[in-house]
Amino acid sequence: MVFVRTTPPRPVDVSAVFPELAPWARPAMRLHPRPGSPSAEESSVGGPLLWPAAEPWPHCEASHLHGDSRFRQSPDDVRLTRRVRARRHSDHSGRGGMTPEEEAVKERNAARLAERLDAGPPFPADCPVPMVPVAQLYLRDIPLLRPPGRADLLQVLWCPYDHHPDGKPATALFWRSAAEVVDLLAAPPEPYEVNSPGYVPEPCVLAPEAITEYPNSLDLSPQMRLMVGGWSRWQAAGADLDSSYADYPQEFYDVHLAKAPGWKFGGWPPWGRTDPYRRYCTVCEVQMVPLLTIASFEWSGRAGRSWTPHEDRAAADDAGGHCCGQRPSQPTKVEVGSTDNMQIYVCPTSPDHPHTDLIQ
């Protein structure tokens, strides 16, 4: 890895204040995606995949939600818009016009949209849709992977259309051995359009960091929930609690101590939209475990700032860095749900069993 990101120490040592929670500690790895130009031989978010030329590229053949196609964009349109916005932001002019090549892309996409609207149904979403690379993780970078057999690489893709009944992208997982990929697929197919710009991840390199997480208070028993919410227990342990949380120590625990925000592998679920919703394997009925968290933001708001890596503090404090959508807390440009998280779950007994996902 060419760069590192370091999570600040937690303001309170959870196991010291609540020894009862020590058995609940789980390893996790914050991925810390940041914009870059990853190769197929690197772990990445939104980067090229180490995909064999002889293996068909995955397509989604499920039913998709249509919506108004006039507000959809091609992946090229999404990338073009981002480049122009970034250029406007970087030269501080507010103009940042398009290059001749970008003008040609815009004209081509506009002509394609006009042709599409004139033709009417069938919609592209009714045909098999090429899936979009979301993440590629090598075992050498993510020791928590636990791949099957000789595999040392996990590849995650999704369909860029919303799906029935939950209105979210459908995901696909592929395990493979990197050494067995000799001839690389040079030009993977791309979808005609995407349901949302947030379904086209910006290519990012990763700086994986091992951390320890504790469960959200919603995952605790009623007795343990009362324990972390008891102000007297925090006082007895001499914990230096943020005064703004004095009346709500349980919230302090959830926000600053339990689980990290952002893209991560392993760890605990980021409950919030719903109460804990257990997922069970459809084959063996074992409770499934979190594999990958696909996050809309690396951190969010004042509460989440305690998780901002040391190396990103200056950019996070720069108000100008939030102009034109250039948020340092949203390097991947991914948005799922209402700027929520998508968590992928797998069966702990067999990677061959179907996975599932959940928006939180």
Q: What's the whole-number mean pLDDT along residues 196-217?
A: 96
pLDDT above 60 for 257: yes
Q: Is the pLDDT of residue 59 over 60?
A: yes
pLDDT-derived band of residue 228, with 50, 70 and 90 as boundaries? very high
- Give the tens place of pLDDT for each residue, 320-329: 445 444 678 9
Looking at residue 324, its pLDDT comes to 43
Asked whether residue 301 carries a pLDDT value surpassing 90, the answer given is no
The mean pLDDT of 117-122, rounded to a whole number, is 60
Mean pLDDT of 76-97: 74
For range 18-38, the mean pLDDT: 96
User: Mean pLDDT across the stretch 302-307?
Assistant: 78
- d(Cα 155, Cα 188) in Å, to the nearest integer? 14
pLDDT at 303: 63
CA distance 224 to 314: 37
Higher pLDDT, 119 or 207: 207
Of the candidate ranges 92-106, 171-185, 285-299, 301-315, the one whose mean pLDDT is the lowest: 92-106
Between helices 75-91 and 100-119, what is the axis angle to 10°?
140
pLDDT score of 304 more than 70: yes
β strands within the chain, DSSP E? 26-30, 34-35, 44-45, 59-60, 129-130, 132-138, 153-158, 171-176, 204-205, 209-213, 264-266, 289-295, 341-346, 356-359
Per-residue pLDDT band at 88 (split at 50, 70, 90): confident
Higher pLDDT, 196 or 32: 32
CA-to-CA dists, residue 26 to 213, 244, 250, 331, angstroms = 5, 28, 19, 26
Per-residue pLDDT at 66: 63
pTM of the model: 0.90
Mean pLDDT of 123-144: 90
Separation between Cα atoms, residue 344 and residue 291, nearest integer Å: 6
First to last CA, the chain: 30
Percentage of the chain modeled with pLDDT above 90: 61
pLDDT at site 1: 47
Q: How many angstroms from the chain centroid is the CA of residue 222?
A: 31
> How far is residue 229's CA from residue 122's CA, in Å, rounded to a whole number?
56
pLDDT at position 323: 44
Site of tokens 């007895």: 236
Which tokens belong to 223? 């007795």
* CB atoms closer than 10 angstroms to residue 247: 8
